[in-house]
Chains A and B, each alone.
Chain A
């Protein structure tokens, strides 16, 4: 073989073996060692089961106003009843559905869109980068919750609009994180050699850039999920969330306000549910962050 084809052959081999930055399943074992993370995961699992099988687990219908109102926690009603005679425990169990659903779907959508934007901006640079990042920087200057409130003002209330609003509000975090990663990955040998071999942009993005950019996205996702759940609760609390017929934790808290002096359980338990959920996610996320050691991925973040 001639020298040129020999070099090309070597380059080809280099391009085909995209190095993974970490081995795939070792992190699970390290996760297991952190006690808070384990506690958090257990709680989240229970919550998930509770949300999925709510009709089976909740002792009563959450909207059934048959019982005596404002009863303190008792054997029949472990968390008490509210001012309209509804069982609080059932309402909280059903409320888990909305909160988890909104939290998961908004982060999923937001990460997908954010990753796309970050990929395009980081990889192509130039005017695409400028346009996208100017907008993202604009959004980044404001707290995500206020953006969500404002978007609900524009689109209206209701479940779909809340999901849209929260998804859009949390885009800035994902886009920035991904763009930073892409900027550094772009210059690595395996990408350069793939380009030299004439691989299309799409193939490079899909096979080389994306797999190595996922770690910080996962870390960011765990952070954003907790804020998304808090955002949904806040929106519902303010009356800007889902329709009043669906029990969601924020809404239950909002109703509880008028009866604070007569029914402390109405205010304490929904808030406790939110807090424990977010706490578990934070424990889990913190452990994941320690594992992935995000600082290693933040080489480009210095100037921003």
Chain B
């Protein structure tokens, strides 16, 4: 795709009392547009889940930038990836030359209430998101030889990276002992193995690329949903489970993105992947084909996914350090990978990174995989 990222912007991820979700979107959009020299954009795609009616219109309305088509996109944790896919392909297909993509969120506190669940499931205690994460984690442990120590090590790795990210919610490293000492939310997941739902915004400006301009390019942007029966992953089982041999949505999205970009897992230099909980990152290694099925614990143990390793994963600190504002998280990954490929990631810089992948997956199920090159 001849689509360039010419501007990036962030509102930090964290908790910001008194700052509205529209305020945060405005901050990120202004920064991204300024970096791109304030181009006229022909359309805007806005990602959010909990921001209510016409949330993207409110952000652009606050900036006097309405009039163009504004499409609000909800695809769970992958909302930003979905918005980016729509925008990048609109340019690639010749519809537009310049498109604004942004996402923002102000998440409720505590266990998230989701209209995904029918009322009887809530009343019956069957609508508990971290409990579904726990069942998935337990399965990864059973099928891939992952231990609680591995889960804690993922947290330690990402929190070390987050300590160098001024936009992260947690900018302090932690230890395996401290992770395992945090309270159990749903066995086997301790509190510090789960990301914090929080607040933030991210924006990118996409423009038709000019040959040889040296910009970061979108090589692929793929979105997939789950296949029937493929359910103890992200879809959250609603009607029985029979997922043996069914390819998960993250693998479908990854395969589509690798094909679109003309690169394979071995060509990647840096990855940002969904780490809603520590086991989700390890499952991501396998689903994104960074290792063979069952090989995630060995890949982690090898140190390859640490900063300075062969294939650093979540150099931004991931969601475990940044927290997860649903609509902003995927675009936050794209901002990080763009900085990595530009060589402007500062203390988090992965040396020589030229090909990067960003992965989000969540309820729906929705899985998005974006590949950037420079």
Is the pairing of A and B real? no
Spell out B's residues near A (CB within 8 Å): none
Question: Which A residues form the contact surface with B (CB < 8 A)?
Answer: none
